[in-house]
A and B are shown apart, each in its own frame.
Chain A
């Protein structure tokens, strides 16, 4: 609202010019649209068009190099009848829910620790942020090497400590592959939760804690009744936002397991990649991502609304 008032005031000083055509108001509109034009072109060409093109692809038999014909629901029927698709749905859900839950708890714990008066807080804050500051692909390559059954650190350390007798093939065993991918993903992404929550905690007034202490609230009660309510909005935004990012994560799976062993870590992004880029069947690949679209749009809209509500408040 405040902005609107200002803008009206802005138009007035140019009064001497407003007699000419175009009028001040038209000039305002033209100027605004002119500045926005490159962005609009970009968004139309590289977001809107591909977005609808992807949906069209899902109804076509397009391959690379061929124009592609409309084939109706054929791709969807094929994809839905494929056991690999239901595996991918289950894996995506397992991966997303477990990763988000662990990141939430770990991120909150890290934020609480960093919010205490500790020596060298700035150093530790920066240090614990490192995984998030590193390129994601580097993180997953390092973890692949950590998990290595022949020369990896984890197996060596566990054997040296006497915890295991023989190396565990973390990434190539069906029972450990998914958990190993989740761990690597959590390592890389928990700092985002931690810094967001820490930023939120620092806006909570100290007076609220003082008042709670006067009322005899314990530390746990202070957390439950002061800290947590103060963070509700941020928790909501962070959880929704990272649910979207996690459900669409590609690098951890591609770089650690490639979806294997025997589809144990096949998530939907990996399936789209395999179908589109390895098998070059763009129509079916697009059908897989289109099937995830309604859920994704619902999540994206929820975050958008939450973020906008706060931005305008």
Chain B
């Protein structure tokens, strides 16, 4: 009894420590966005005494962040739409069709999923420039597919494997074509997996930093991450606007992440990190 009491005490003490550790930066981001410049730089306060939305107004009006939000949104949406279709086909092919060499494709997809972008960005940059796509959103839509498609294919392979093939076989006995079975049987049954892979490719594209930094150089083509990181060097007293922009970039994507996270734990456990 004494042991379990001390264990409970330790558990809650550690929990409090972890919560504090995670909370401090979040607190600082939110309160900075809501403080006036006077409270930020002259009389330091821990809490905003007179909360104001002026930084949100300024980051949108003066810094034109809406353009960049729209860029991020366009890139992420196109990437996601293409990714879901392409990787659903690929996963269906690898899991349900029988032909020589498919194991190798599966292995290569996994290899790419693990291979970091940092290895490839110099060559990708040279290719993007050679294609005449330098400083365009198209360059991002195209190259992000090389990150999202392997990830989502790997995830959907796990999902499709967890659904018995008998259901499709019955449909095919009834005269459905094999590809028809994908659309009528497998896709509806894997809806959570499809939703999760869509959310994850959207998140990946929304958050991607390195390629966006390398490929785009213009205020009008920058995505949100690049725009905000460029603001750091511009101005000493930028933190209010910057944190307001950070909040705008974080809130929607974090909600999306949590919606998708439920599904991805299932997806991962079906695919890879199975205990």
Chain A interface (Cβ < 8 Å from any Cβ of B): 3-4, 6-11, 13-14, 28-29, 31-36, 38-40, 42-43, 46-47, 49-51, 53-54, 57, 62, 64, 109-110, 113, 116, 118, 124, 126-131, 133-139, 141-146, 148, 150-151, 153, 156, 187, 195-196, 199-200, 202-204, 218-219, 230, 233-234, 237, 241, 244-245, 248, 250-251, 254-255, 269, 272-273, 276-277, 282, 285-286, 289, 292-293, 296, 300-301, 303-304, 307-308, 310-311, 313
Contact = CB atoms under 8 A, between A and B. Distances in A.
Contacts of A51: 119-120, 123
B93 interface: yes
Given A32-B102, A141-B246, A135 B225 contact: yes
A32 B206 CA distance: 32
Interface residues of B, number: 103
Given A54-B123, A135-B207, A126 B258 contact: yes
A202 to B, nearest CB: 8
A282 B126 contact: yes
B52 interface: no
B90 interface: yes
B149 interface: yes
A50 B44 contact: no
B232 A141 contact: yes
B261 A133 contact: yes
B22 A131 contact: yes
Contact of B28 (A28, A127, A145): A145
Q: Of residues B111, B179, B214, B265, which shows the largest number of chain A Cβ atoms within 10 Å of its Cβ?
A: B111
28 contacts: A8-B98, A9-B169, A13-B172, A29-B97, A31-B178, A35-B93, A40-B105, A47-B112, A51-B123, A109-B18, A126-B258, A134-B253, A135-B206, A135-B250, A141-B246, A144-B232, A187-B21, A187-B25, A199-B273, A203-B274, A219-B3, A244-B114, A248-B118, A277-B214, A296-B116, A308-B110, A311-B271, A311-B272
Contact of A248 (B18, B116, B165): B116
B119 A289 contact: yes
B33 to A, nearest CB: 10
A313 B273 CA distance: 11
A151 B99 contact: no
A239 B185 CA distance: 38
B22 A35 contact: no
B189 to A, nearest CB: 16
Contacts of A148: 239
Interface of B: 3, 7-8, 11-12, 14-15, 18-19, 21-22, 24-26, 28-29, 32, 40-41, 44, 46, 86-87, 89-90, 92-100, 102, 105, 107-112, 114-127, 129, 142-143, 145-146, 149-150, 153, 158, 161, 165-166, 168-169, 172-173, 178-179, 206-207, 209-210, 213-214, 225, 228-229, 232, 239, 242-243, 246, 249-250, 253-254, 257-258, 261, 265, 268-269, 271-275
Given A42-B149, A151-B44, A310-B272, A7 B98 contact: yes
Contact of A6 (B28, B100, B120, B165): B165
Given A109-B14, A308-B110, 7 more contacts: A35-B93, A39-B87, A43-B112, A46-B146, A53-B127, A138-B29, A141-B242
